């Protein structure tokens, strides 16, 4: 399956959120430079813990703050939210091409979001020097995405190279 050969539908950022959540995300963006962005994001999370808008905002905030453990936690939560929408296996290791091929066409945007989010989990683990786990994630993605539409092949090569340097 070509992961670019579909019409995008149901983009997460177009989904409505609980009243006030978008304003909190906006306030966080406006207050980033002053250092007052985290509180509005956490308030938004407590109001809407399943909101991909909030989880992506948390991921970005923590990533740009170099708080990679927190970024990873937000990304793992997002992966779980997306997984539930797709009825994919709880453990990504059990995901196979049949899961993707059997997904209804209307959910292919969410499939791509899941795979990109899994790629982000792999990247964050690589940055945290969890190289073996990162390699497993990238290998899974390369196996699922033979045309490398998600772009995991280059990251797999990089993590293998880093592991070779460590040894």
Which domains are delineated in the chain?
12-166 (1.25.40.10)
Model pLDDT for residues 97-150, shown as the tens digit of each residue: 999 999 988 888 899 999 999 999 999 999 999 999 999 999 999 999 999 999
> CA–CA distance from 52 to each of 32, 89, 101, 135, 147 (Å)?
20, 19, 24, 26, 27
Distances (CA, A) of 3 to 17, 87, 152, 153: 27, 18, 13, 15
CB 158 within 8 A of CB 126: yes
Which pLDDT score is estimated for 20?
84
Mean of the per-residue pLDDT values of the chain: 89
């Amino acid at each position: 399956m070509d992961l670019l050969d579909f019409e995008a539908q149901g983009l997460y950022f177009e989904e409505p959120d609980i009243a006030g959540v978008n304003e909190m995300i906006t306030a966080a963006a406006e207050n980033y430079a002053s250092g007052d962005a985290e509180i509005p994001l956490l308030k938004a999370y407590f109001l809407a813990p399943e909101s991909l808008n909030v989880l992506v905002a948390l991921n970005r905030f923590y990533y740009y703050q170099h708080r990679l453990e927190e970024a990873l936690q937000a990304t793992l939560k997002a992966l779980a939210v997306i997984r539930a929408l797709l009825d994919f296996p709880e453990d990504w290791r059990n995901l196979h091409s049949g899961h993707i091929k059997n997904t209804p066409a209307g959910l292919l945007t969410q499939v791509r979001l899941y795979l990109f989010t899994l790629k982000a989990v792999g990247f964050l683990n690589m940055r945290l020097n969890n190289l073996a786990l990162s390699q497993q994630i990238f290998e899974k993605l390369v196996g699922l995405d033979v045309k490398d539409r998600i772009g995991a092949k280059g990251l797999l090569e990089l993590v293998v190279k880093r592991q070779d340097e460590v040894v």
